[in-house]
Amino acid sequence: MARRKRDEPAGAGRDERAPNRSADHAQGRRTGRRAADHGRYGRLSRERVLSTALELVDREGLSALSMRRLGSELGVEAMALYRYAAGKDALLDGLVEALYLELRERLDEGAEEGARPPAKGGAEEPGWRSELHRIARATYQVAMAHPEVVPLLATRMLAVPLARRAPAVLSAQEDILRLLAAAGLDEDTAAAAYRAVSAWLLGYVFADLQAMVDNPDEPEAAFRLGLYRMPAHDFPELRAITPALAERGGPQGLTEGLDAVLDPWVPGPPQD
């Protein structure tokens, strides 16, 4: 019962502080990397664990992510990872968090341009809608940059309750809610609109990533899509439209749909 009194994992939970003291100094060099080596490239850290995991998943897919494999990728035994993520599930949640951190980065770096189109003529806020679009586009970009991680967005969203999500995740949701409030929506309407927005964002990303390609190396389009194996006369519409479905909707499809989805909830005209 007197377990875990000392030797507690440092940042296994959602603790923000990094467990390495001098973050980037290539330390452990003093001894000339003699024994045990402490990982291939200096000490471990939650950040290093997560970013390496993200690279691995991007490169080889979700199923390639195992504790041992990630460990070896970091030059470390599997069990060493348990200091930085409480378990595999926590690691996956960490990947989701990493995506949201990247989203935040993307949003921040794109923030210093055309600071404010200083309110046209009416009493309408001009800012909130374009801000929402900006968020949507950035979300789309992040998702397309890490398609292998996208399933986790759905999976973990159904697994970890809102209140337990990483701050990076919550803050993205808070951003959207703030914009909806700026649009003048009262609390109940904002809740409905928020659900619509998040449903659309997620659904659109999934729809756009939908696996269409059956045989990637085939030069002929129809064969690439595997059309020949679709029962020809049973699904004529589907067969006819598959090539068009294989194109991506892109970010503008996202923002257009976003306006449409928002339309029932906001007072003003949708676009102009």
Partner DNA sequence: CGCCTGAAATTTACGATGTATACGTACATT
Partner DNA sequence: AATGTACGTATACATCGTAAATTTCAGGCG
| Binding footprint of its own copies on the chain (CB under 8 A) | 147, 150-151, 154-155, 157-164, 167, 170-171, 173-174, 177-178, 181, 187-188, 190-192, 194-196, 198-204, 206-214, 225-227, 229-231, 234-238, 240-242, 244-245, 247, 249, 253, 256-257, 260-261, 263-264
Is residue 39 within 8 A of residue 74, CB to CB? The reply is: yes
- Enumerate the H helices of the chain as residue ranges: 46-60, 67-73, 88-109, 127-145, 150-159, 167-182, 187-209, 221-224, 236-246, 250-262
Q: Which residue has the tokens 């502080």?
A: 17
Q: Which does 141 bind (CB under 5 to 8 A by kind): its own copies, DNA, none?
A: none
Q: Of 94, 100, 31, 17, which Cα lies nearest the Cα of 57? A: 94
Residue with smaller CB distance to its own copies, 74 or 266: 266
Quick one: 127 or 249, whose CB is closer to its own copies? 249
Q: Which does 76 bind (CB under 5 to 8 A by kind): its own copies, DNA, none?
A: DNA
Q: How far is the CB of 25 from its own copies (least distance, A)?
A: 30
Binding residue (CB under 7 A) for DNA from 35, 162, 163, 211: 35
Q: Pick from 68, 54, 64: which is nearest to 97 by CA?
A: 54
Q: In which residue are the tokens 């968090």 written? A: 97
Between 130 and 198, name the residue whose CB sits nearer to its own copies: 198
Q: Does 104 bind DNA (CB under 7 A)?
A: no
| Residue 131 tokens, joined | 């801000």
Q: What track of x and - describes contact with DNA for positions 71 through 90 (by CB under 7 A)?
A: x---xxxxxx-xx---xxx-
The residue among 6 and 233 lying less far from its own copies, judged by its C-beta, is 233
Q: For residues 175, 178, 179 and 181, what is the CA-based torsion angle, rounded to 10 degrees? A: 160
In a 3-state reduction of DSSP, which class is residue 69?
A: helix
Closest C-alpha to 271, from 147, 234, 258, 243: 258
**Which of 142, 161, 36, 38 lies closest to 98 in space, CA to CA?**
142
Taking a C-beta distance cutoff of 8 angstroms, is the pair 133, 252 a contact?
no
56 or 225: whose CB is closer to its own copies?
225
Strand, helix or coil for residue 271 = coil
Near DNA by CB under 7 A: residue from 13, 15, 41, 66:
66
Choosing from 62, 67, 191, 207, the residue that interacts with DNA (CB under 7 A) is 67
When the beta carbons of 87 and 250 are compared against DNA, the nearer one is 87
Tell me how far, at minimum, the Cβ of 64 lies from DNA, in Å.
8
Q: Scan residues 144-163 and list those touching DNA (CB under 7 A).
A: none
Tokens of 181: 């409030």
Q: Binding residues for DNA, per CB under 7 A? A: 3, 6-10, 19-22, 27-28, 30-31, 34-36, 38-39, 43-44, 65-69, 71, 75-80, 82-83, 87-89
